[in-house]
Amino acid sequence: LFEAKVAVSPGIGFGQYGDDHVRFGLIENEHRTRQAVRGIRHMMKKDGLIK
């Protein structure tokens, strides 16, 4: 997610069941949120996690 330029918080900070998760704060405007989603999609495709 660093390469995608998307900041996240470790899920464990939000309770005992959050250990395998990350939390996204969607507080940006629509343009920046879409930009973040595109960056995540690109990263996941590059890593072979999605087609």
Residue 21 in domain: yes
Q: What is the reported pLDDT for 42?
A: 93
Q: What is the reported pLDDT for 25?
A: 80
Q: How far apart are the first and last CA of the chain?
A: 18
pLDDT tens digits for 14-40?
Answer: 888 888 888 888 788 999 889 989 999
Report the distance separating Cα 36 and Cα 1, nearest Å.
10
Residue 33 in domain: yes
Report the distance separating Cα 35 and Cα 20, nearest Å.
24
Q: What is the reported pLDDT for 26?
A: 78
Residue 51 in domain: no
Residue range(s) defining the domain that contains residue 30:
9-46
Q: What's the number of domains the chain is made of?
A: 1
Residue 4 in domain: no
pLDDT band at 3 (very low <50, low <70, confident <90, very high): confident
